[in-house]
Chain A
């Protein structure tokens, strides 16, 4: 069976060869409590409290949530409401670092003896989907019946342009990944692991084959460099040919997908007891003087990370958290690095111009490139006409917002952007319909 459709994007992974360097302590650190899909964390400290590296500053705010830990040692200055890139407000813990980076003395290695304590440890690690989505990993791994897991796919596709932080994980942290695989094998009982990597990273494929690939039950799969290869459902289909249908989760077809950096972080936490407090971030874009991979304490303002990379060659017109295909553009260069931030891009005026939309010429490129075969043009028409029945039958709810349709559109129509609006409108319409029943 053929793979799902996709698009060829420029790779621009020129930072792939740069070994990540630590940037040191920021002047101020900001910790928004919403750093995951699901409920935001609740602040666990108050102004004036002393904190260390790894001190819990936000407790998980529900089942689908994740705790937040301080990446610096110092004093809590205040807790404020702040706007997140993307527009949502979130309580934010502001910490003034003392520059000592003292680890929290109360931290202990977690005691992991069985499935339950393993999931508990993953929960405590503060790890979320580090490929960018930020879904709490403990919820993903904490399936009711682990025997249902037939295979675990380790996502090393890294299909977005620019980003190489996962590349670096695969090259530099193969030991952590091997450890993670063995932990999952031991506590979840899964015996089959597949590491999926796009072919544009031959060095990662080689490294993985020489390390993790030597473990029993682990295979390394070289995938075509076709965006969005790393999309969860796309990866599952292209590797296993299993379809995660409407209303289903990957586990319903016996699969769990875990990002390679997420896997490494779980292993590191269980080995050291230090939760997720720092992150490897790819700093790139035409306005960055010295693009590189940087290990950044979570909470560091983007500006300080850019400054560490030599500052800007020209004033950037757009700052993107994440990749250029699905990343979020920030309104403020002081917005902090979050757990799921894997790249910081500074794009120049020319790159950030959005050409005006013109008439659809019905070329069909959007439909033909959509991995799921959605028809963005029909979706937009149905949405504009408020035809919810039609929207429902066009399956806009399956749109993963990868943006291929907008990327290829010669008329520059905002297709995925309107798909997102249509998805939200359809969801609230369906909810209202349920309530009226």
Chain B
């Protein structure tokens, strides 16, 4: 008989893998991807491919140069590339998309130790960096179906400037027929992705739902109890994209349900504050990035209580 394997229990595993989780996230992003191509044309496919390729090749190159284990098979770089692309306007120049992708994958992810060790969401951080460096192109919006027609403003800036008459109908907002970053506009597609992630138990509802409810409630309070505008706040900008795909990133958000609730609440408050009183029309990336930095503290404060642990003895001086 062959030699027997000896190992410490457990001898079975659930079979879930990092790659499987990332694949689920990619599948969940496909409806929004399809919507992006539908509303913003083939260039959405082109830009997303550039971002994905740059992320994967950037990760590969870094790992080869740094003589680290190559982990592009785990598909996390694909997720990062897609997410970053979703956060950009379709008119973004290729070289800027490439720089943004490299910042996301090399600076934010690999320099800190690779998957699991990044302190902030690579896509959100890269978007914030690009917003500061390339503010012109990052806010260069075009109307759906018409890449040449420059949009006057996104719904968020319309709200900010009090130009409520120009707002698209709520129906257009929900199906995604409005100006904005290419992956953020179609609420229906994003929510389908969220439901998929919930069913596959990749994410829990806590962060996303609390984030959205907070944005809604705080907008309602801060905008003179205008229900319609508060609803617009949910579907405008990158809230759904951020709340579903970026605020639920494992490495950069707290692991416990209570921690997730606090994280989502904090994101909601900051998002509305930036939207209403900041110099930028949109605050989702800023909010997520800021809460990412607070995550270690939230995690520590909301760590699960160990069942049966003795209370620590008070040190006597």
A residues within 8 Å of B by Cβ? 4, 7, 9-10, 161, 233, 237, 243-248, 315-320, 324-333, 345, 347, 351-352, 354-355, 358-364, 367-368, 370-375, 393-395, 398, 401, 403, 406-412, 414, 416-417, 420
Contacts and interface: CB of A to CB of B under 8 A. Distances in A.
B162 interface: no
Given A326-B10, A395-B309, 6 more contacts: A325-B10, A325-B12, A352-B11, A359-B113, A362-B255, A407-B14
B305 A373 contact: yes
A416 B8 CA distance: 9
A407 B116 CA distance: 19
B224 interface: no
B71 A358 contact: yes
B251 interface: yes
A345 B310 CA distance: 38
B18 A352 contact: no
Interface string B204-219: 0000000000000000
A360 B250 CA distance: 10
Contact of A317 (B5, B71, B116, B309): B5
B167 to A, nearest CB: 39
Given A358-B71, A362-B116, A233 B308 contact: yes
Contact of A4 (B14, B74, B307, B312): B307
A246 B250 contact: no
Nearest to B304: A373
B117 interface: yes
Given A358-B71, A359-B117, A408-B16, A403 B4 contact: no
B2 interface: yes
Contacts, number: 154
Contact of B9 (A10, A319, A325): A325
A377 to B, nearest CB: 9
B6 interface: yes
Q: Considering residues B117, B307, B312, which has the most beta carbons from chain A within 10 angstroms of its beta carbon?
A: B307
A416 B11 CA distance: 12
Nearest to B312: A393
A398 B74 CA distance: 34
Interface of B: 1-2, 4-14, 16-18, 20-21, 71, 74, 76, 113-117, 250-251, 254-256, 303-310, 312
Given A361-B115, A368-B256, A407 B4 contact: no
B7 A7 contact: no
A362 B2 CA distance: 38
A416 B9 CA distance: 8
Contacts of A4: 307
Nearest to B118: A362
A245 B308 contact: yes
B114 A359 contact: yes
The 6 closest A-B pairs by CB, nearest first: A364-B255, A373-B304, A403-B10, A245-B308, A359-B116, A324-B11
Nearest to B259: A364
Contact of B307 (A317, A347, A367, A371): A371
Given A326-B10, A327-B9, A407-B12, A361 B116 contact: yes
28 contacts: A7-B14, A243-B307, A243-B308, A248-B308, A315-B2, A319-B4, A320-B11, A325-B10, A327-B9, A328-B9, A329-B7, A329-B11, A332-B4, A352-B11, A358-B74, A359-B71, A360-B116, A361-B250, A362-B251, A367-B256, A371-B307, A394-B306, A403-B10, A409-B13, A410-B16, A410-B18, A411-B18, A412-B13
B71 A324 contact: no
B255 A406 contact: no
A324 B14 CA distance: 12
By DSSP majority rule, is chain A's interface helix, strand, loop, or mixed?
loop
A364 B5 contact: no
Contacts of A409: 13
Contacts of B307: 4, 237, 243, 371-373, 398
Given A318-B4, A361-B251, A355 B13 contact: yes
A364 B250 CA distance: 8
Contacts of A364: 250, 254-256
A416 B13 CA distance: 12
A355 B17 contact: yes
Contacts of B21: 361, 363, 410
Given A359-B71, A364-B250, A364-B255, A351 B12 contact: yes
Contacts of A243: 307-308
B304 A324 contact: no
A395 B306 contact: yes
A133 B39 CA distance: 63
A248 B308 CA distance: 9
Nearest to B203: A363
B305 A324 contact: no
Contacts of B2: 315, 317
A331 B310 contact: no
Contacts of B312: 393
A399 to B, nearest CB: 10
B1 A315 contact: yes
Given A315-B1, A325-B10, A373-B307, A412 B17 contact: yes
B309 to A, nearest CB: 5
A361 B7 CA distance: 24
A149 to B, nearest CB: 20
B205 to A, nearest CB: 14
B115 A359 contact: yes
Contacts of B116: 359-362, 411
Contacts of A327: 9, 11
Contacts of A332: 4
Contacts of B16: 408, 410
Given A237-B307, A326-B9, A367-B256, A410 B17 contact: yes
Contacts of B11: 318, 320, 324-325, 327, 329, 345, 347, 351-352
A417 B8 contact: yes
A312 to B, nearest CB: 9
B12 A324 contact: yes
Contacts of B7: 318, 329, 352, 354
Contact of B306 (A319, A330, A372): A372
